[in-house]
Amino acid sequence: MTQFPDIRENIELVGLNTLHVPARARFFVEVRSAEELVQSLDWAAAENYEVLILGGGSNLVFAGDFAGLVVRLAIPGRRWEHIEDQSATLVLGAGESWHESVLYAAGAGYRGIENLALIPGTAGAAPVQNIGAYGVELCDCLESVTALDRKTSELVVLNNAECRFAYRDSLFKQTPGRYVITEIRLGLSRSRPLVLGYRDLQEYLGDTPDCDLNPLQVAEAIMAIRRRKLPDPAILPNVGSFFKNPVVDVGSFESLRERHPDIVAYPQKQGVKLAAAWLIDQSGWKGFRNARVGVHNRQALVLINHSEGVGTDILELAATIRESVVKRFGVTLEMEPGIVGEPVTGHS
């Protein structure tokens, strides 16, 4: 039997990130339990190596190789807790596929996460950027997460408020490196209203009365809508939306609207959220491609690795897009995925 931690050296990560860019991990380990996670982190601490926690690799860009230990979180497990008449808690190990878990919950008749079907990545990564789509965010039904607090080396349970969720943001993004999520708990219900207000979803569902729909049918509708607009990372490598939708103050929005009456925007409690896809599209980038990377031709917010692009190709394209959006609209786009690794010259 192999001894744990089973640390491997010089591992290629091209197949472990959905942008499919090459990068090597100096050390690599796959963990299947909280105990294995602790052992691996202890090993890295003793050897003085930096650690990168990797889930599905669907929200990061490798700028180059990673000189420390990459820990692939593969903690399995799916179980129900607190099953009552109409509600139940679904507990997911951090390594479970998010999309498979959505289908599992929806197939069992439980509502809450069906609008989040087909989002790539793992359950443990979902709270980090508070995944959201079609009018639903993870924080709408997340009860708590269990995480290893690397400051105290203890497992802690953080409730929804403690996770400090906001749009594509959370405690885990605000305190990088501090917590490693091992398990999440979702409060689901058989009777909560389905969220069907998003325009694309309404158009797809047509006149079907809400009462005739079950959560699996909603998940299937979401899958069809996503497949129409968003590229499948297995075919066109990507990390979903590359930028957040920026929020500007009302005054700036009004002056933008004077110059661009068609601007797509959504009023928020504070300020106005602009559709980054529209800003990028209007700046002429939709469908752009160079020899290696480009912008999706059906969703301008998605960058694509067309042909053996490396992380820096993607980052250079992103920087050029940002500059042109600033120039045209005076709005600065913030990147959604994280950047890891040192730029290298070896891959070309």
Q: Closer to ligand EPU at the Cβ: 146 or 299?
A: 299
In the complex, minimum distance from the CB of residue 79 to ligand EPU, in angstroms, rounded to a whole number: 28
| Residue 286, token pair as written in the block | 């939709």
- Which CB atom, from 150 or from 244, has the smaller least distance to ligand EPU? 244
**Considering beta carbons, is residue 133 or 310 the nearer one to ligand EPU?**
133
Q: Is 275 in the site for ligand EPU (CB under 6 A)?
A: yes
223 forms part of the interface with ligand EPU (CB under 6 A): no
Size of the site for ligand EPU (CB under 6 A): 18
Q: Is 247 an interacting residue with respect to ligand EPU (CB under 6 A)?
A: no
Q: Answer yes or no whether residue 281 interacts with ligand EPU by CB under 6 A.
A: yes
Closer CB to ligand EPU, residue 27 or residue 285? 285
CA 82, 88, 93, 96: dihedral to nearest 10 degrees? 160
Select from 344, 341, 343 the least CA-distant residue to 17: 341
Token digits of residue 117 = 């079907």
Query: Which H or E run includes 12?
Result: strand 8-12
134 forms part of the interface with ligand EPU (CB under 6 A): yes
133 binds ligand EPU (CB under 6 A): yes
The crossing angle, in degrees rounded to 10, of helices 98-107 and 215-229 is 150
Binding of residue 286 to ligand EPU (CB under 6 A): yes
Residue 8 Cα distances to 11, 15, 285, angstroms: 7, 16, 41
Per-residue contact string for residues 293-312; x = within reach of ligand EPU by CB under 6 A = ------xxx-----------
Reported in sequence order, the residue ranges of 32-166 that DSSP labels E, i.e. its strands, are 51-54, 60-62, 64-73, 78-81, 87-93, 132-133, 136-137, 142-149, 154-159
- Cβ-based nearer residue to ligand EPU, 74 or 126: 126
CB nearest ligand EPU: which residue? 240
- Euclidean distance between CA atoms 73 and 29, whole angstroms: 9
Q: Is 252 a catalytic residue?
A: no
Number of H helices, E strands in the chain: 8, 19
Query: Is residue 335 close enough to count as binding ligand EPU by CB under 6 A?
Result: no
Contact status, residue 82 vs residue 88, Cβ threshold 8 Å: yes
Q: Which residues of 255-292 are buried (b: 16+ CB within 10 A; e: fewer)?
A: ebeeeeeebebeeeeebbbbbbbbbbbbbebbebeeeb
User: Candidates 67-75, 101-109, 176-184, 273-281 — which segment interacts with ligand EPU by CB under 6 A?
Assistant: 273-281
Binding of residue 185 to ligand EPU (CB under 6 A)? no
Instruction: Kindly indicate which of the ranges 23-31, 90-98, 237-245, 325-333 contains the residues binding ligand EPU, using the contact rule CB under 6 A.
Output: 237-245
122 contacts ligand EPU (rule: CB under 6 A):
no
Give CA–CA dist 268/148, Å, rounded. 34
User: Under the criterion CB under 6 A, does residue 150 sit at the interface with ligand EPU?
Assistant: no
Least distance (Å) from ligand EPU to the CB of residue 62?
18
User: What is the rounded CA–CA span in Å between residue 320 and residue 233?
Assistant: 23
Residue 168 a catalytic site member: yes
Q: Which is nearer to ligand EPU, 115 or 146 (CB)?
A: 115
Q: Which residues bind to ligand EPU, rule: CB under 6 A?
A: 133-134, 229-230, 240-241, 244-245, 264, 275, 277-278, 281, 286, 299-301, 336
Residues with catalytic roles: 168, 241, 336
